[in-house]
Amino acid sequence: MVYPNLKQSVCLVILVLFVMFASGLVFYHLGAVPGQPGRLLNYMGWVANLPVFALFVLYAQRRSGRSLSQVLRFRTVPWKMCLPVTLSIFGLVVVNFNIGNFTQYLIPISEATLDLIRDLMGRGTPYAFAFYVLVIQAPLTEEVFCRGVILGGLLTHRTQGGGIFWSAVLFGVLHMNPWQFPAALLLGIVFAWWVVQTGSLLPALFGHALNNFLSMTSARLELFGPLENWDVPVFLPWWLFASGIVLAVTGLWWFNQMVKRDGASHEHRAHPDQDEAPADRKPV
């Protein structure tokens, strides 16, 4: 049985969240000590997530019996796939803006979550550091963990649709707050589908990085209003929301057409050790 199954995946996510929360708490309290470089220690708390994810990925890889290359899945794909991925992400950013605000309308966002967003995306944090954390580190760690480790394991225990769905749910849980969960769930489904279609993490990595870049840059430029006012839900005009849906659907359709023209066995490439999958695979 290839590690992890769904129960083991849930445990992995809980452990990762616990360790990240504990390490973040340590750096936060160290920064609160008089005479200590508080801002620098806060930055170190963000960077500390990298070794946390790396350790859990290596642990899961050893338990699964898969090679590191099977977990990382950095198989090259045609550069042209960047075009439909870019189109999809531009549309999804627009769609997710309204989804996030609707969630915030139903559940008022907490001040602690707002402070966390403002701290990283606000102009008080150097752009280069925010870019590293959100556009480089976060996509790399989360894609390898959620799509390389978790999706790779779930595809041997569940159907393709079930593996995609549950890996996306856990990707949403990994964001640790209900306001980001719906948007993260939608993105997680899209990213997992791209990985299954191509057998590579690269389209998902690029899409994830582009999504974070657009979100971070629009926040810093205050395109949708000052960060101080983010506790008040603001909805985009219906025509802009509809345009986002059209862009996203067109990009996803275009991506699917590119994959079909490739003509190879994408399902097998998406999970090279699928031949070892047990006969009692669960439907969902």
Residue range 147-166, pLDDT digits in tens: 999 999 999 999 999 999 99
For residue 131, what pLDDT is reported? Answer: 96
pTM for the model stands at: 0.90
Judged on CB neighbours under 10 Å (0-12, 13-18, 19+), 11 is: exposed
Average model confidence (pLDDT) across the chain = 89
Count CB-CB contacts under 10 A for residue 141. Answer: 20
Closest by alpha carbon to 60, among 197, 198, 209, 170?
Answer: 170
Q: Which two tokens stand for residue 258?
A: 């590119």
What is the chain's percent helix, strand, coil content, to nearest 5?
A: 75, 0, 25
Residue 276: pLDDT over 90:
no
Residue 24: pLDDT over 90:
no
For residue 72, what pLDDT is reported? Answer: 93
Closest by alpha carbon to 187, among 255, 99, 102?
Answer: 99
Contacts by residues 184-188 (CB-CB < 8 Å, ≥ 24 positions apart)? 186/92, 186/95, 186/96, 186/99, 187/92, 187/96, 187/211, 188/146
